[in-house]
Amino acid sequence: LQKGFYKCAANCFDTFKTVTNIQACIEDCSIPAQTAQNVIRSEVARFQERINKSIIHCKEKFEEERDSHRNTENQIAEKAQHCIESAVREHIIRIPSLTATIKSQIAKK
């Protein structure tokens, strides 16, 4: 993408003579890279949101357990930590799928 941008931008200087036209041409050249960046931002934000939801689920689960007074604070903290670690591990496993989704979306645009 970057290489294509620079080639396109260099061509703008060969094709146009006015600064305004050159700038407009360069802006057009940057659209694919900007689109890719937007796709990446969006998918990473969705990924982070899913992790956060998993962590919130763990937190809520163990707040309920704390309220029930069935376990000590240390037991609850250990279980909560295990829940969060498991949730994060599950999401780490999904990173290759996330990468594939990002590549696929960028290729479509």
Pick the closest to residue 30 from 59, 60, 57, 6 (CA basis). Answer: 6
Residues 22 and 9 sit within 8 Å (Cβ to Cβ): no
- pLDDT tens series, the chain, 109 aa: 889 999 999 999 999 999 999 999 999 999 999 999 999 999 999 999 999 999 999 988 888 877 777 778 888 888 889 999 999 999 999 999 999 999 999 998 7
- pLDDT value at position 72? 84
| 3-class SS of residue 1 | coil
Nearest in space to 4 (alpha carbons), one of 46, 43, 32, 35: 32
pLDDT of residue 50: 96
The pTM is what?
A: 0.74
CA–CA separation, 17 and 8 (whole Å): 15
The whole-number pLDDT of residue 68 equals 75
Strand locations in 27-89, DSSP E? none
Interatomic CA distance for residues 29 and 52, integer angstroms: 36
pLDDT score at 99: 97
Query: How many structural domains compose the chain?
Result: 1
- Please give the residue range of the domain that contains residue 72: 2-108
